[in-house]
Structure 1
Amino acid sequence: MKYILLSISFLLFISCNTETAKKVTNTSDYDEFLTVSNVDTSSKYFEIWNKKIKSDSSQLLSFGVVAGEYSRYFKNTGDIKFLKKAEKSLRKAVDVANIGKAGYLRALARNYISQHRFREALVLADSARYIGSGVEESQALLFDIHMELGNYEVAKKHLDSTENLSSFGYLIRVAKWNDYKGDLDTTIRFMEKAMAKAEDSKNKGLRIWSYTNIADYYGHAGRIKDSYNHYIKTLQLDPTNAYAKKGIAWIVFSHEKEPQEALRILDAVTKNNKSPDYLLLQSEIAEYMGRDMESIEYMENYFKEIKTPSLSHMYTAYTIPLYLDVTEQYNKALFLAKQEVLNRPTPEAYSLLANTYLKMGENEIALSIIDEHIIDKTFEPAILFRAAEVYRAVGYTEKVNELKEELSGAFYELGPIMESKIVSL
């Protein structure tokens, strides 16, 4: 299983943790990136193409270019309005395209993935595949969507149909598949091959994507220094990259136990990035510091941000635990958990539904969900922790101990607050 090699026993973990719990970050590495001015959300290049678009326009190339720029602005700012503007441009492109329609359908499907509209994305991807242009691109897209929907065996068939060890796209997807299967060593090996291809290509976008993703995988494997170095590499290419800064903040918080410095980093990030999940991380860090009122304030700001209908469903998996553990609004949690299972029937969604039933006192329902949809179907530690909570409630001590042993290797990934919860299982 995913973390067995890292956590054969609590004793082994503790010894490894003692050895690796050294300071790996240095403020001089990243301070200059925290003072980056506001992210640009326009350019001469963008304006030229945007002016070509009129209400009755059929300027196909203009729609594609403008949508790409809006998507870039969304990645840089986390502002949902740019993602919606990109959607509008791509929908128009799909409407007017005769040649190249499949490509625009795929682009719109990826926009929907970003909005967590997975079932709509699937319809578009199937339409693109039916048209026949760019078959491998459509198969790769279908793999991505089916992984998001929890249709893992269907996803594997699409992955196998695109097998090409010299392809960057195939390498990153086979890495993702092995991560799902719990084989972290193989995952990293394929991601390193993909990263090498990105570096050889000199493609800045692929290099940034490779560095942030392999930094995540290195973190999961306990290779904290390697993780940190690749977040720094990301910022050297893209000083505005909020995801890399968040990754460094997590290392500072979870590995080095310096919450004040982690908050300083995140405060700099949130000046230019509106992604609500940063607020929840700030809330978690403030809670760890014992600053309860500050933690609540960050949480309230999170709820304010996700009031927008286009945002609320994107953050359902974040909101449900707040209803369960903070506000104790179990009926609201149940409504959202059922919606999430319908929209995205993954082990994560089912774990949230199971924990909702657990909080409502429906232990047997929770247990049946865990046994049917979670165990042996995922190796994600947050999900396994929820399973352990259910097993503890029904008195399955042996199963709790098995999961507890496995989770002992995931303290860094889950964070200091969860560490104490795991120990007390």
Structure 2
Amino acid sequence: MKTTIVKLIPIFITLIFSSCDTSESTFKTNQEDYEPYLATKTVKTTSKYFELWNSKIKPDSLQLLSLGNVASEYNRFFKSTGDVQYLKKAEECLQRAVEIATVGKSGYLRALARNYISQHRFKEALVLAKEARELGSGLNETQSLLFDLHMELGDYTLANQYLDSIKNLSDFGYLIRVAKWNDHKGDLDTAIQFMEKAKQKAESSNNQGLKQWSYTNLADFYGHAGRISDSYNMYLQALKIDPQNAYAKKGIAWIVYSHERNGEEALRILDEVMQNHEAPENYLLQAEIASYLNKDILQLQALDDYFKKTNSSNDYGSMYNAYNVDFYINADIKNRAYQLAQEEVRNRPTPESYSLLAYSLLHLGKEEKAMELIDAHVANATFEPALLQMAAEIYKANGKTEKVSKLKKELLEATFELGPVKEATIAAL
């Protein structure tokens, strides 16, 4: 999902859509399917459950159970609203719980580590995960966490070792992770098979949270495979469980925009989402669709809103560094983009981070250095179209026409994932 100015695909569509068969190319959404979920309702950021446990927390509180339950509620509020303040409040509760826990400490360490993952504080999370492993309790959960962390950190060999250590084909947690692993390897068919098994597990247990999670993630996989109608139906299934699910609504908005080329309707869906969900990446999607519709004023306003949002609070930390690299490149603040890309590589040395660093070098006129990074850390290490497009631009700048031609063919098959705005850019490679 990209804009003329901001090219980085937002987190929620990084898996969506490649080529489509004939039946999928003629598929159309039905406004009546999703309209009932678009009525604006204020998201509740309290509950009787929250109030009960929160009332038990006093200064210097030793109420471990209260701290854990309140942190869980804050996490839920964060997911519902996109307000980073709730994520930080959850962190405070969990930090206190870790400080005072004697029994069950490993569980609180894992919970705090997952909070740090949400904040892109991966190396700090790794320290906590290792501490939890040393304590021994909940070893399977800790090994699962270590798999997640090493995937985030780009240490795929070690991640695979942790995946092997938790192998259990009847376990939901293992199934979703082996699906993620196969997607990372580029084996999408196998990834879908495992995710479908995970969905069946969630449905048989009737766990609403797991069902919703499996529906939206399977929607991503289906879209990535060009199964647009299946993707659309999974997003609808998620909305049946939670009509306020912003992720599912944005997934539908992307289908309406990228598949149907109906930017106005996609904007309408997104506008409803943004009434209650304030995640900064919403503005980037708004800017892209506005660019497609040649609504220059709306595009500039959306980009300005994104910049103000991400710079209004230190609470975001490094969460939006990846977005900001591309933002600054296109705002012609190239040295700042380079600095952020270096920080991102230190924080998270993945193919994505190296792609951003190489891309920033390209725009600083250092084409050869950029290509060295692509060859060393990106080529044959990722299947993400957004990263392959950066690589293609860098190879073109270095006159590597054969490599550009090969990548261009792949990218033309992935224009649905990249979005309508990028088709002309790809065609010009």
* Cα-to-partner distance string for 1:39-82 (whole Å, 9 max, x where unaligned): 00001111111010001210010000000000000000000000
Deviation at 1:313, TM superposition (A): 1.6
1:54 is paired with a residue whose SS is coil
Contact kept, 8 Å, 1:347 with 1:378, in 2: the verdict is yes
Contact kept, 8 Å, 1:24 with 1:224, in 2: the verdict is no
1:316 corresponds to: 321
2:139 corresponds to: 135
| Structure 2: tracts of 5 or more residues without a match | 1-16
Alpha-carbon distance between aligned partners in 1 of 2:143 and 2:28, rounded to the nearest angstrom: 40
1:50 corresponds to: 54
Deviation at 1:18, TM superposition (A): 5.5
Alpha-carbon distance between aligned partners in 1 of 2:101 and 2:212, rounded to the nearest angstrom: 31
* Cα-to-partner distance string for 1:260-297 (whole Å, 9 max, x where unaligned): 00000000000000100011000000001011111010
1:367 corresponds to: 371
Deviation at 1:386, TM superposition (A): 0.5
In the alignment, is residue 280 of structure 1 matched against residue 284 of structure 2?
A: yes
Q: Alignment partner for residue 291 of structure 1, among 275, 292, 295? A: 295
In the alignment, is residue 77 of structure 1 matched against residue 81 of structure 2?
A: yes
Alpha-carbon distance between aligned partners in 2 of 1:252 and 1:101, rounded to the nearest angstrom: 46
| Equivalent position amino acid for 1:323 in 2 | Y
2:319 is paired with a residue whose SS is helix
Alpha-carbon distance between aligned partners in 2 of 1:161 and 1:23, rounded to the nearest angstrom: 42
Alpha-carbon distance between aligned partners in 1 of 2:233 and 2:387, rounded to the nearest angstrom: 28
Q: Alignment partner for residue 210 of structure 2, among 202, 206, 210? A: 206
* Cα-to-partner distance string for 1:192-251 (whole Å, 9 max, x where unaligned): 000010000100000000000000010000000000000000000000000000000000
| Equivalent position amino acid for 1:321 in 2 | D
1:260-271 alignment, distance < 5 Å: 260-271=264-275
Tell me the TM-score normalized by structure 1.
Answer: 0.95
Q: Alignment partner for residue 235 of structure 1, among 233, 239, 249? A: 239
Alpha-carbon distance between aligned partners in 2 of 1:199 and 1:144, rounded to the nearest angstrom: 23
| Equivalent position amino acid for 1:145 in 2 | L
In the alignment, is residue 404 of structure 1 matched against residue 408 of structure 2?
A: yes
Alpha-carbon distance between aligned partners in 1 of 2:23 and 2:136, rounded to the nearest angstrom: 54
- Higher relative contact order, structure no. (Cα contacts within 8 Å, ≥ 6 residues apart): 2
Alpha-carbon distance between aligned partners in 1 of 2:378 and 2:157, rounded to the nearest angstrom: 16
In the alignment, is residue 385 of structure 1 matched against residue 384 of structure 2?
A: no
Structure 1 segments of 4 or more deviating over 3 A?
A: 16-19
In the alignment, is residue 146 of structure 1 matched against residue 150 of structure 2?
A: yes
1:222 corresponds to: 226
Alpha-carbon distance between aligned partners in 2 of 1:30 and 1:322, rounded to the nearest angstrom: 32
Percent same amino acid at aligned positions? 58
Alpha-carbon distance between aligned partners in 2 of 1:312 and 1:332, rounded to the nearest angstrom: 16
Contact kept, 8 Å, 2:85 with 2:315, in 1: the verdict is no
| Equivalent position amino acid for 2:356 in 1 | L
| Equivalent position amino acid for 2:91 in 1 | E
| Structure 1: tracts of 5 or more residues without a match | 1-5, 8-12
Deviation at 1:25, TM superposition (A): 1.0
* Structure 1 vs Structure 2 CA RMSD: 1.1
Count of residues paired in the alignment: 412
Alpha-carbon distance between aligned partners in 2 of 1:36 and 1:292, rounded to the nearest angstrom: 27
| Equivalent position amino acid for 1:114 in 2 | S
Deviation at 1:310, TM superposition (A): 2.0
Q: 1:312 to 1:294 in 2, by over 3 A?
A: farther
2:11 corresponds to: none
Contact kept, 8 Å, 2:287 with 2:299, in 1: the verdict is yes
Contact kept, 8 Å, 1:306 with 1:312, in 2: the verdict is no
2:65 is paired with a residue whose SS is helix
Deviation at 1:129, TM superposition (A): 0.4
* Cα-to-partner distance string for 1:108-135 (whole Å, 9 max, x where unaligned): 0000000110000000000000000001
Q: Alignment partner for residue 200 of structure 2, among 196, 220, 224? A: 196
Deviation at 1:21, TM superposition (A): 2.2
| Equivalent position amino acid for 1:319 in 2 | N
Deviation at 1:17, TM superposition (A): 5.7
Tell me the TM-score normalized by structure 2.
Answer: 0.94
1:176 corresponds to: 180
* Cα-to-partner distance string for 1:328-364 (whole Å, 9 max, x where unaligned): 1100100100000000010001001101111111011
2:44 is paired with a residue whose SS is coil
Deviation at 1:19, TM superposition (A): 4.8
* Cα-to-partner distance string for 1:287-339 (whole Å, 9 max, x where unaligned): 010111110100000001101122152011111111112x1110010010000
| Equivalent position amino acid for 1:255 in 2 | H
Deviation at 1:405, TM superposition (A): 1.0
Deviation at 1:412, TM superposition (A): 1.1
2:339 corresponds to: 335
1:72-151 alignment, distance < 5 Å: 72-151=76-155
